[in-house]
Structure 1
Amino acid sequence: MSTDSTDPTITFDAVTKRFGAHVVLDELSFTVDPGEFVTLIGPSGSGKTTILRLLMTLEKVDGGTISIDGEYLSHMERGGKLVPADEKHLSRVRRRIGMVFQQFNLFPNMSVLRNITEAPTRVLGLSKGEAEARAVDLLDMVGLSDKASAHPTQLSGGQQQRVAIARALAMRPDVLLLDEVTSALDPELVAGVLSVLKEIASTTDITMLCVTHEMQFARDVSDRVMMFDSGRVIEDAVPEKLFTSPEHDRTKEFLSAVLNRA
Structure 2
Amino acid sequence: MAPAATADPVAPAAPAVRFDRVTKRYGDRTVLDGLDLEVGRGERVTLIGPSGSGKTTILRLLMTLERVTDGVIHLDGEPFSHMPGGSRGKLVPANERHLAVRRRRIGMVFQQFNLFPHMSVLENIVEAPVHVLGESREDAGRRARDLLELVGLGDRADARPTRLSGGQQQRVAIARALAMRPGILLLDEVTSALDPELVAEVLDVLRDVARSTDITLLCVTHEMGFARDVSDRILMFDRGRIVESGPADELLESPAHERTRAFLGSVR
Q: TM-score, normalised by structure 1?
A: 0.96
SS in 2 for 1:124: coil
- Paired with 2:141 and 2:90, the residues of 1 have a C-alpha distance of 43
Deviation track 1:26-84 (CA, whole Å, cap 9, x = no partner) reads 00011000111100000000000000000000000000000110111100012411000
**Per-residue deviation, 1:172:** 0.2
Q: Aligned pair 1:87/2:77, yes or no? A: no
Q: Which amino acid aligns with 2:137?
A: K
Q: Could you tell me which residue of structure 1 aligns to residue 33 of structure 2?
A: 26
Q: Which amino acid aligns with 1:235?
A: E
**Per-residue deviation, 1:20:** 1.0
Contact 1:11 1:30 in 2 (8 A): yes
Q: TM-score, normalised by structure 2?
A: 0.94
Mapping 1:42-81, distance limit 5 Å: 42-79=49-86, 80-81=89-90
Q: 1:244 aligns with which of 223, 228, 253?
A: 253
- Paired with 1:130 and 1:57, the residues of 2 have a C-alpha distance of 28
5+ long unaligned stretches in structure 1: none
Q: Could you tell me which residue of structure 2 aligns to residue 227 of structure 1?
A: 236
Contact 1:96 1:175 in 2 (8 A): yes
SS in 2 for 1:147: coil
Deviation track 1:164-205 (CA, whole Å, cap 9, x = no partner) reads 000000000000000000000011111111011001111101
Mapping 1:1-262, distance limit 5 Å: 6-79=13-86, 80-259=89-268
Give the total of aligned pairs.
Answer: 256
- Paired with 1:177 and 1:231, the residues of 2 have a C-alpha distance of 19
RMSD between aligned residues? 0.9
Deviation track 1:130-163 (CA, whole Å, cap 9, x = no partner) reads 0000100000000001110111100000000000
- Paired with 2:176 and 2:249, the residues of 1 have a C-alpha distance of 32
Give the number of the structure whose alpha-carbon radius of gyration is greater: 2
Contact 1:41 1:226 in 2 (8 A): yes
Identical positions, percent = 67
Q: Which amino acid aligns with 1:248?
A: H
SS in 2 for 1:172: coil
Contact 1:142 1:162 in 2 (8 A): yes
Q: Which amino acid aligns with 1:202?
A: R
SS in 2 for 1:104: coil
SS in 1 for 2:218: strand
- Paired with 1:204 and 1:120, the residues of 2 have a C-alpha distance of 19
Q: Which amino acid aligns with 2:110?
A: F
